[in-house]
Amino acid sequence: MDLCSLIDRNAAFAPDKTAIAFEGERLSYAAFAARIEHTATALKQELGVGRGDRVAILSLNRPDYLVLLYACARLGAILVPLNWRLAVAEQLFILTDAGAKVLVLEQVFEGVLSGLARTAPGTAVVGLDFAPPRGTTFESLLARSDGSSRNPHTDLSCPLLIVYTSGTTGRPKGAVLRQEALFWNGVMSQHMHNMTSDDHVLTVLPFFHVGGLNIQTTPALQLGATVTVHARFTPDTALTTIEQERPTLTVMVPAIIQAVSEHPAWAATDLTSLKAVATGSTIVPPHLIERFVARDVPVLQVYGSTETCPIAIYTRLGGDLSRMGSTGLAGLCCEAKIIDQAGNELPAGTPGEIAVRGPNVFFEYWGNADATRDALHDGWYRTGDIGLCDADGYFWVRDRKKNLIISGGENVYPAEVERVLLEHPDVSECAVIGRPDPRWDEVPIAYVIRRSGSRLEADELKTHIQTQLARYKVPRDIVFVTDLPRTALGKVQHFLLKQLDAQSRAQGEAS
């Protein structure tokens, strides 16, 4: 059995039921299963994709994104979702690091192709909505497919996803998730949401994140529910869909909750179809939760990461939602505990590092044995997040990973931004921290020491960064200094820079 078998069975039980709704079109379970089969056959016969091969996708949300996921499951191949918000240089690194055999992309992102021709000329290119100069279209590929795609050696133990996370060492790492991780993640989602085949999920988060793909979307499809997919989030479209299409479930990160609840149409939008809204990706401000709760929509919190597929800890619909600020209990198929530096479990109420173990947890970082050893210990994934567990088993996240900045739901690692800053010839030293922001939760701020004699200005440095990194990673402010606070071992003390930034802002407000 592979993960795609669940789609086949839903197609057998309810062939005419809508699996995916997208931009006015509806794809039934029978049509969804058939398109998956044709796609898997085409990838196998026309492009030679087999077990273990990597198929990358660079696209906004669309039904064929999900078709490719399950086609890879059928073949035992691995899908590599690319974050379309990244700079081309970052995307090319991932494509090269993953060794992608095929890249499937939308025309709006074809800017990556010139670089791909230089760095990975052997990668086959397939255009979802256009004919690439040195490739083929998705539809013409399907038209040539004939025969069976089934691989007798494929099962739930096969890797299915490599999802890249921004690297704390300055380069992203690819977390490898097996098919079974998505299966058990789906079981926990169904438990968390009291999900049934009668549910209707609205997906507004991008599929290149495990949150957009796996908190509700794949669990709903594997159960036989209906999913309405938006290409990308806009508050007016989301509210209109809730009003007109009547979904029962959706996932919104805090920045999205803020955007919809501050939209002019918020008060007039009928939310009564929603049985719950799930949220996470960062510590969620209580006032944002209250905006839905005040309108009789329960808000479920989920904690996890790319490495946990992502569901690990959650509050459950029908469970105790009164513990404001708690991320809930360890999931139905997952263990969680609080540990000290040596890995010993700590007593209730004692802060420490959150560790997670279960079939939903990744099994390696692609091609990075050292990082894998650092993260996994006897099957336990050390998250790097600080939290505590109370006497009733409820978890409370107290701080994010050391130095991690979460801006609008997107991870920004200071080391990655610092690496690019240091590539500028006039930058001697630098450090990047997160500054609280009412809209984005946090924004990056850079402290920079110029090289002697340099007259480098902030705008020039921002332009330099924009050529290498996504816009949300570009520091909001660049502060030029002559020294940085360091430990006795020479490591920059980021927490002291945060204190300095807070003091500077307080003084500015006072004046």
The pLDDT score that the predictor gives to residue 489 is 42
Domains of the chain: 1-155 (3.40.50.12780), 405-510 (3.30.300.30)
Q: Count, in order, helices (H) and strands (E) of the chain.
A: 16, 27
pLDDT at 488: 42
Question: Over the chain (511 residues), what is each successive 10-residue block's mean pLDDT?
Answer: 97 99 98 96 96 98 99 98 92 97 98 92 96 95 79 90 76 96 99 99 96 98 99 98 99 91 97 97 80 97 96 95 92 97 94 95 97 96 92 87 83 85 91 93 96 94 95 96 73 85 84 62
Task: Specify whether the CB–CB gap between 36 and 27 falls below 8 A.
Answer: no
What 3-state class would DSSP assign to 161? strand
What's the rounded Cα separation, in Å, for the pair 356 and 338? 9
189, 195 in Cβ contact below 8 A? yes
Share in percent of the chain as helix, strand, coil (round to 5): 35, 25, 40
Q: For the range 430-433, what are the long-range contacts, defined as Cβ-Cβ under 8 Å and sequence gap of 24 or more?
A: 431/484, 431/492, 431/494, 431/497, 432/405, 432/475, 433/403, 433/405, 433/494, 433/497, 433/498, 433/501
Q: From CA 210, how far away is CA 362, in angstroms rounded?
A: 12
Can you give the pTM of this predicted structure? 0.85
| Residue 326 CB neighbours (<10 A) | 21
Q: What is the pLDDT of residues 146-198, one digit of tens each?
A: 766 677 789 999 999 999 986 545 688 999 999 999 999 999 999 999 999 99
- In which residue are the tokens 């052997």 written? 122
**What letters, b where the CB count within 10 A reaches 16 and e where it falls short, cover 227-254?**
bbbbbebebeebbebbeeeebbbbbbbb
Inter-CA distances, 239 with 26, 257, 269, 270, 287, Å: 20, 11, 7, 9, 20
